Amino acid sequence: MSGVEVAGRTGHRRLAVGQVAGDRRRAWPWPRVTLAALAAAACLVPFLLEPYRVFQLTMVLVHGIALLGLNLLVGHGGRVSLGHGAFLAVGAYGSAIMTTSLGVPYPLTLPVCALLTFGAGLALGRPALRLSGPYLAVVTFAVAVVVPLVIKRFGTVTGGSMGLSTPVPAAPSWTGLADDQWLYLLVLAVAVAAFAVARNLVESRAGRALAAGRENPAAAEVLGVRLDSHRTLAFGWSAMYAGVAGTLYAWVVGFVSPDSFTVTLSIVLLAAVVVGGPGSLLGPLLGGVFITFVPAVAQRAGDAVPGIVSGVLIVVVVCFVPTGLAGLLRMAAGAVTRGTGRG
Amino acid sequence: MGDLLLQVVQGLSLGAVYAALALALVLVHRFNGIVNFAQGELAMLSTYVAWQLLEAGLPFWAALPITLAVSVSAGALVERVVIRRVEGGGELACVAVTVGLMVLVNAAAGLVWSFAVRSFPNPFPAVLSFGSAQSGFSALGVLGVVAVMMLTLHLFFRHTGAGLIMRAVVADPVAARLSGIRVGRVLSLGWGVAAGVGAVAGILVAPLLFLEPNMMGGVLVYAFAAAVLGGFHDPVTTVAAGLAIGVAETLAGTYVKFVGADLKVAVPLLVIVAVLSLRRGRAVVRGTG
Amino acid sequence: MTVREVTVRETTGPRVPARPVIRTAVSAALALVLALPLGGCRLTEEDDVLPAGACAGQQVTGISGDAIRVGGIYPLSGPASAYGLIASGARAYFGHVNEEGGVDGRKIEFVVRDDGYQPARAVEEARRLVELEEVFAIFQTVGTPSTAAVRDYADRRRVPQVFAATGASRWGTDWEHPWTIGYQPSYVAEARVYAQYLKETVPTATVAVLYQNDDFGRDLRDGFADAVRGSGVRIVAEQSYEVTDPGVQGQMANLAASGAEVLLSVTTPKFGAQALAVDAAVTSWNPLHIINSVAVAPAVMAGVDTGKVREIISAVYQKDAADPEWADDPAVAAYRASLRRYAPEADPAAQQAMFGWTAAQAFVQALKRMECPTREGLREAVRRLDEVSVDTLMPGITLSTGPGDGFPIESMMLARFAEGRWASFGEVVDTRAVFGPVRTAGSAG
């Protein structure tokens, strides 16, 4: 909103391009084959790779789910949250406390945490989303700063700064799977469901209302779109995704502590949405890859390098490739299509 | 009573630093409509420049103007090279790019100067006693510098040609461009001035907090609170708010038991939320300005 | 993207077809069921175990006749990256050992990973070290959160997590995690040394405590409160701060109001330096300034106007390379030379580098004492140290563990900061002998 207004000042306005502007041309001629190949690869991976690689891919999926949610708000809704780490914390701690203190079997914690964070998202979303422009970013930033302190404050429940160890879900014996394979497949199933739901959401009336609100709130309101309720709902959904990701995180890592949910996490999440490609469905997955692999790879070049690489990547992507990695991929796919003459 | 005075003075000196950084945030916001999450890190970078100059043997009062000149040019350069590209790119692009800068500058400072804690010389004589309480003179020195800085900015904007042009751009960029003002340059200069103000904040706070790449992280939250209180608009309210927050958090830690030291950081958060919900109507109008 | 294109086409059909993503889910589930018989099998091997002999069935992953692969997880980036220097010190010592022929002919390969002081990344890196790099043991994780996070994993995979660089008292009293052991004197032990000193010299002291609000700060503070209980030494004021706070000026102003005779500063370097600076600036309050050992760093002390602080005391257990007292010490000379050679980026005066060097030396001693060259052998060896001496520890301080004693070092000495350096004084205080064993981690609250 503010950005659009300001844009006129310098005469440097650039129009949104590609998918952001609603470009729905076909970019890839073999969607089914590709999808089938990907699905097969995703299912076979745990049996081919070392446990550590499987774990890394599991983390990619966990982050991917969180980013999918944040993307609903940021990419599709056009509102910026720097505090989504808080919902991850709620999901992770919710699951950890339920499994350790209350003895709830772990599969039950997933729906409970999902409902919990959905409710929290709805409750917080209404007042928060009324904040204009960058105020929402500032408030959510402040929330992200306070979260670890609140966790410590209620140390009797949360284990304080020492954190909580949670049992890692063991594979049922009838499957004959190793634990990491079981976890991977479990997370994969949740991720596929999450993607399906997100896709339906975005394609639905609500999704179009969100996009309309992002592009031109005034026009959308005039056309009778109730922006407030759509955005609140989007906030609720995105909080729920973060909560689900948090729960899975607790399962996979087996340990939660306040230091896992600092403001850095929220910043990294936002950065990953931007780098992956805001407003696309593939973006969150690419963002998950970014979160998991960039620090690990960049560390080989030097100790402070991961931060520099992430920072440069964010700035460069925002400045030059506003559609993110997903946009790049789309362009590449388009080039292939044209090259083979199948477009 | 003396204890209270000591606490108030300590609170004021930190508050003055919050105010200075908040002032930089407000300046940037008024020119570009951008909330600069990297403001604190840019200030930290300036402080390292000053530290490097001092290490090279320069006296403090020679290092200061050089640092300010470097900071102003660096701020202008950042605006020209990076920020100009996202203007008009929407809320997400604006927030993301400054967050990216924040991460980048922090890591770069760590790479160049390492994360070791360094002491920074205090430009003010150390001790002054007044009444029953005795406290660092630096507290008053910090206040003085912030006051001088505000006065200078005021004079600059009110009584110089450049200031007039800058005010014209803030008031109506389109009209300013139509009357021949190079709006782009003015925006760069705006970022430069903000970076200079931030540099002063960094140099003031470094002797108290000790210099390291994460020095400004904690300060930024408080500066946000002050800037929000000032509606990201009004410098005088912003500075007053910064001072008030500094005193409030020092006293809250002592006198409000539930807050204690655990949740002291929640004080600025509560301030932000309370202010925004109370004056929502007006904030919406101003926030986009 | 691709997905979206598909829908557009699909929905033109006469009936509403199953959406491709849902279909994918179904096929994924099908593939899963088909893949289940494969379950458990994968193309990688399981851990190596010894087939026969006295040590049959024990794990020998990462150890061979001529090499031992060791992994370490350090905060090389992020807020706690000052502790990354520990890795430099350890690397220098392993280089030194390898040059002299290694441990029983085995060269040590030291793989260092960065966790940025985030527990989740520590777990990730631990998995990387164990599953991908196939290390024999994890030598050092830094900080209580990271160590706690890795502990369960190490236990599950039965990998020794040796000499973790954290003083939390729980490592030494936790018998459910035999694979994890700490190294340095616990925070409780350190608190006891201060308490003992105060009880002897200022029996009626009033104490103000500034502490970091996390397990480290609370552990030390509670340890101190326990140790002075029943004596004339009283805690009259307490203030805590968060690592995310900009500074501790407000807290110090509040503590100054108490007018206590002693200030116990339970801090990390940055906040310790701030506390010292405030102490120097406030002329109306001049307490005896006790600063805990983790807060001591050369840069911190360099900036302090010691003329304005009455007396600064800390506890030490290893030699200080910056101290002229050890200028001619052969052990410190070897440390300086190797550090210059294998880790030139590290400042030899840094306490952390010396810490890494000394801990690595203790680790090598433990390796030499393994009865079986296996992971189980190492676990036993570190839990059965019998007054093992390490030449960069203060004279009179040794490593001892045994049944019921999971704390390798429990003795410390006091040191006073004067004329720009730390000078140790008094006797070595064996806190186990004076106060008895640290009972439970529960005493940490």
In whole angstroms, what is the distance from residue A42 CA to residue A46 CA? 8
Regions of chain A where pLDDT drops below 70: 1-27, 133, 302-304, 341-343
Instruction: State pTM to two decimals.
Output: 0.84
Residue C16: phi and psi, rounded to 5, are -75, 110
Band of pLDDT at residue B128, cut at 50, 70 and 90: very low
* Chain A residue whose CA is closest to C168: A162
Q: Which CATH architecture has domain C67-185+323-409?
A: 3-Layer(aba) Sandwich (3.40)
pLDDT at B257 over 60: no
Q: Looking at the domain assignment, is residue A20 inside a domain?
A: no
Tell me which residue in A26, A161, A326 faces C215 most closely, judged by beta carbons.
Answer: A161
In whole angstroms, what is the distance from residue A34 CA to residue A24 CA? 19
Tell me which residue in C77, C245, C254 faces B218 most closely, judged by beta carbons.
Answer: C245
Task: Give the position of tokens 């990271």.
Answer: C146
Band of pLDDT at residue C138, cut at 50, 70 and 90: very high
Q: Helix A133-153 crosses helix B90-113 at what angle (to 10 degrees)?
A: 50
Contact B117 C299 (CB under 8 A): yes
Q: Looking at the domain assignment, is residue A1 inside a domain?
A: no
Among A57-71, B24-38, B237-251, C289-303, whose mean pLDDT is lowest?
Answer: C289-303
Q: Are B275 and B229 in contact (CB under 8 A)?
A: yes
Candidates B152, B23, B47; CA nearest to B109 is: B47
The range of the structural domain enclosing residue B89 comes to: 2-121+135-287
The partner residues of C70 in beta bridges, in order of sequence, read: C110, C137
Looking at residues B180-204, what average pLDDT do you find?
Answer: 90
Q: Looking at the domain assignment, is residue A99 inside a domain?
A: yes
CATH of the domain at B244: 1.10.3470
| Number of structural domains chain B divides into | 1
Q: Looking at the domain assignment, is residue B126 inside a domain?
A: no
Residue C129 CA to its chain's centroid (Å): 18
Contact C269 B117 (CB under 8 A): yes
Q: Provide, rounded to the nearest whole percent, the portion of chain C with pLDDT above 70.
A: 87
pLDDT of residue B125: 61
Better pLDDT: A296 or B51: B51
pLDDT at B2 over 60: no
Band of pLDDT at residue C17, cut at 50, 70 and 90: very low
CATH 3.40.50.2300 in chain C, residue ranges: 67-185+323-409, 188-316+413-444
Band of pLDDT at residue C93, cut at 50, 70 and 90: very high
Task: Give the position of tokens 């008024």.
Answer: B30
pLDDT of residue C15: 41
The range of the structural domain enclosing residue A291 comes to: 27-340
* Chain B residue whose CA is closest to A77: B92
Q: Looking at the domain assignment, is residue B128 inside a domain?
A: no
Q: Looking at the domain assignment, is residue B41 inside a domain?
A: yes
Contact A304 B173 (CB under 8 A): no
Q: Which element (helix H / strand E) includes C290?
A: strand C288-291
Band of pLDDT at residue C33, cut at 50, 70 and 90: low
Q: Which long-range contacts (CB under 8 A, 24 or more apart) does A213-221 make?
A: A213/A77, A213/A78, A214/A76, A214/A77, A214/A78, A214/B90, A215/A78, A217/A1
Task: Please state, rounded to an integer, the average pLDDT across all residues of chain C.
Answer: 83
Burial letters B159-172, b for 16+ CB under 10 A, else e: eeeebebbebbbee
Among A104-118, A205-219, B57-71, C294-308, whose mean pLDDT is lowest?
Answer: C294-308
CATH of the domain at A103: 1.10.3470
Q: Looking at the domain assignment, is residue B130 inside a domain?
A: no
In whole angstroms, what is the distance from residue C343 CA to residue C304 CA? 28
ipTM: 0.82
Looking at residues C222-231, what average pLDDT do you find?
Answer: 91
pLDDT of residue B275: 77
In A, which residues are within 8 Å of C156 by CB distance?
Answer: 168
pLDDT of residue C24: 57
pLDDT of residue A150: 86
| Number of structural domains chain A divides into | 1
In whole angstroms, what is the distance from residue B186 CA to residue B196 CA? 15
pLDDT of residue A98: 93
Q: Looking at the domain assignment, is residue B100 inside a domain?
A: yes
pLDDT at C355 over 80: yes
Mutate to test the interface with B, among C142, C240, C241, C245 (most CBs of B within 10 A): C245
Between vectors from CA B35 to CA B29 and to CA B40, what angle results, nearest 5°?
A: 105
Better pLDDT: A98 or C303: A98
Q: Looking at the domain assignment, is residue A2 inside a domain?
A: no
Touching C (3+ Cβ pairs <8 A), the chains are: A, B
Q: Does domain C188-316+413-444 have CATH number 1.20.1600.10?
A: no
pLDDT of residue C36: 52
| pLDDT tens digit sequence for B16-48 | 889 999 999 998 988 888 889 999 999 999 999
Work out whether the CA dihedral A317, A323, A325, A328 comes out positive or negative: negative
| pLDDT tens digit sequence for C55-87 | 888 888 888 889 999 999 998 877 777 788 899
